[in-house]
Amino acid sequence: MRNPLIALVATAALLAACSGEQADAGIEAASENEQSFTAIQNESAENSKLQDLKSLPEFTVIDEEIGSDSLEAELVSDNPGERVLLLNKDGDEFKSIFVKETKRLKIIDIDGEGLIFNDILDIRN
């Protein structure tokens, strides 16, 4: 009588431990899904800003210096002080830094020439 009782208690303990691990795994998976969803939302918000690249005050100069045909842009940062864009045109990589307060724009050819534009833009607010 004692052996079946021990076996029953051991089986119950084993099942309880397994279900606890599965619950923890489910919670971790839900947390990862939530983080992925948040990351997608953040990317979508940043990319929606870039969809209207032509509305940026520095776009005219970027178009003159690099050209806008097949231009891909990635927003690195856009804070109250400056906006940084990574630009890719036909495999050539550029970086633009627009200082908002002084309206200074720098365009850097990452793969080649280095600084290709550095001037204060004449922009009316």
More confident: 115 or 12: 115
Average pLDDT for residues 62-88, to the nearest whole number? 90
Q: Is the pLDDT of residue 7 over 90?
A: no
Let me know if 58 is exposed, middle or buried by CB neighbors in 10 A (0-12, 13-18, 19+). buried
Torsion over CA: 23, 29, 30, 35 (sign) = positive
Does residue 122 carry a pLDDT above 60? Answer: yes
Mean pLDDT of the region 38-61: 66
CA 118, chain centre distance (Å): 27
Domain ranges of the chain: 1-51, 52-120
In angstroms, the CA 101 to CA 91 distance is 31
Whole-model pTM over 0.95: no
Residue 95 has pLDDT above 60, yes or no: yes
Range in 10-14, 74-78, 91-95 with the lowest mean pLDDT? 10-14
Instruction: Please give the pLDDT value at position 29.
Output: 54
pLDDT, position 112: 84
Give the model's confidence band at 35: pLDDT under 50 very low, under 70 low, under 90 confident, else very high. low
Quote the longest CA-to-CA distance of the chain: 94
